[in-house]
Amino acid sequence: MTETLLSVRDLKVSYQVGKGSIDAVDGASFDVPRGSIVGLVGESGCGKTTVARALTRVIADNASITGGQILFDGQDIAALPEREMNALRWRDIAFIPQSAMNSLDPVYTVEYQLNEVLRRRGGLGRRQARARCEELFEMVGIEAGRLGDYPHQFSGGMRQRVAIALALALNPKLVIADEPVTALDVIVQRQILDQLRDLQSMLGISVILVTHDISVVAYVCDRTVVMYAGRIAEAGPMDAVLMEPSHPYTMGLRNAFPDLKGAASGVLTPIEGAPPNLAFPPPGCRFAPRCPFAVETCTTQQPALGMAAPDHRVSCHRADEAAKLRQEAARTETWLADV
Ligand SMILES: Nc1ncnc2c1ncn2[C@@H]1O[C@H](COP(=O)(O)OP(=O)(O)O)[C@@H](O)[C@H]1O
Ligand code: SF4
Ligand SMILES: [Mg+2]
């Protein structure tokens, strides 16, 4: 058994749009160690959901995985026949889709929906399924007496807990949660994240937590993968990436978000401009049009994902100047100039 549960290697995913295509994920590489929470973070449209869905191979009709490997427990699931892939879903890899709390079926009780997974996919008998439903509800902190309720009878936070219970139903090794706390207020966000963390450590599973909010990553994740415009900007241990970022985009993100832990956050400085249109990405570094530190090479050559430290990767031509750039990035004026 290796320490790495999931290893994504040079993953490419494209959407066919009319006669053209959008390379929404253009060579993503990152690892998910066993028993860890990995935050996949970046602005809206950078390809997080596309990566998350590619990992479960539940992708849009116009999407295709055009390259790379997804090594799960050593097996390349990007190349797995659909029937074998389907057998892995829920049992080994469970996916909590974006807005899962609104996607529970309103016409069925939550017990019915849990049973769909437990009985149909898991092959449990009626009594076993009932016991498991009660156990799952206890795990996510909802009274078993509410199993017969309909989704609309739960608050947003409780529906998200139900979605987590569904994902955990068949004891998966990996749970991928797409923006699980995005629509919730900060207090409920913390409760859900605390619970996700408790369950992750109790069950020893791995979690990929997809979020646009870097403070969510800071609050709960062990590792961080920062995406920008379909590529990985930086990846490594959470503290190293967020406290001492080596990529200017991560430096900028850090300035732009309040701290979920409630610590004094100072002035928030947004990164000016918008991510590129992925149908016509700029040559070279995709962050160059917004980067205050761009030099000529940045606009012509794509930076490789290199080593900032043994366990910390970064894709920036100026990565070896990171300490100096961090000091400049801490000043608001840096982000107002040049753009
Ligand atoms: N079905 C689709 N067809 C065409 N383009 C899509 C489709 N789904 C997503 N995209 C595009 O792919 C890019 C990445 O989207 P997505 O993975 O949803 O980003 P994120 O989850 O980070 O917000 C965006 O430019 C988005 O417009
Ligand atoms: S490669 Fe250049 S443009 Fe891209 S993040 Fe680094 S310094 Fe900025
Ligand atoms: Mg998304």
User: What is the per-residue pLDDT across 75-118, written as a single tens digit (0 to 9) for each?
Assistant: 999 999 999 999 999 999 999 998 877 778 999 999 999 999 99
pLDDT mean over 124-135: 97
Residues with a CB atom less than 6 Å from ligand 2: 247-248, 285, 287-288, 291, 293-294, 298, 303, 316-318
For residue 97, the ligand closest to its alpha carbon is 3
What distance in Å separates the CA atoms of residue 102 and residue 83, rounded to the nearest whole number?
28
Cα dist. 3→9, 68, 206 in Å? 16, 21, 11
| Confidence bin at 37 (pLDDT 50/70/90) | very high
Q: What is the pLDDT of residues 242-276, one digit of tens each?
A: 999 999 999 999 887 776 444 445 678 889 999 99
Atom of ligand 1 nearest to the CA of 42: 22
What distance in Å separates the CA atoms of residue 180 and residue 56, rounded to the nearest whole number?
17
Q: What is the pLDDT of residues 314-323, one digit of tens each?
A: 999 999 999 9
pLDDT mean over 23-35: 97
Q: What is the pLDDT of residues 134-146, one digit of tens each?
A: 999 999 999 999 9
What distance in Å separates the CA atoms of residue 222 and residue 3, rounded to the nearest whole number?
14
Cα of 132 to ligand 3 centre, how many Å?
31
DSSP E strand stretches across 229-316: 231-237, 306-309, 312-314
Side-chain half-sphere of 93: how many Cα atoms within 13 Å?
24
The domain segmentation of the chain, as residue ranges, is: 4-92+172-336, 102-171
Cα of 24 to ligand 1 centre, how many Å?
6
What distance in Å separates the CA atoms of residue 78 and residue 74, rounded to the nearest whole number?
12
Topology at the third CATH level for domain 4-92+172-336:
Rossmann fold (3.40.50)
**Pocket-testing residue among 50, 59, 225, 280, ligand 1, by greatest number of atoms within 8 A of Cβ:** 50
Percentage above 90 pLDDT, the chain: 88
Kindly write down the DSSP assignment for every residue of 130-174, as one continuous string: HHHHHHHHHHTT--GGGTTS-GGGS-HHHHHHHHHHHHHTT--SE
Q: Which two tokens stand for residue 111?
A: 């017990």
pLDDT mean over 289-304: 97
Cα of 104 to ligand 1 centre, how many Å?
22
What distance in Å separates the CA atoms of residue 157 and residue 35, rounded to the nearest whole number?
25
**Pocket-testing residue among 16, 46, 95, 216, ligand 1, by greatest number of atoms within 8 A of Cβ:** 46
| Confidence bin at 162 (pLDDT 50/70/90) | very high
Cα of 60 to ligand 3 centre, how many Å?
13
Please say if the pLDDT value at position 1 is more than 60: no
Q: Are 286 and 230 in contact (CB under 8 A)?
A: yes
Atom of ligand 1 nearest to the CA of 61: 1
pLDDT mean over 26-41: 98
Q: What is the pLDDT of residues 189-231, one digit of tens each?
A: 999 999 999 999 999 999 999 999 999 999 999 999 999 999 9
What distance in Å separates the CA atoms of residue 224 and residue 39, rounded to the nearest whole number?
5
Name the one residue in this structure whose structure tokens are 């990436």.
241
For residue 228, the ligand closest to its alpha carbon is 1
Q: Are 111 and 137 in contact (CB under 8 A)?
A: no
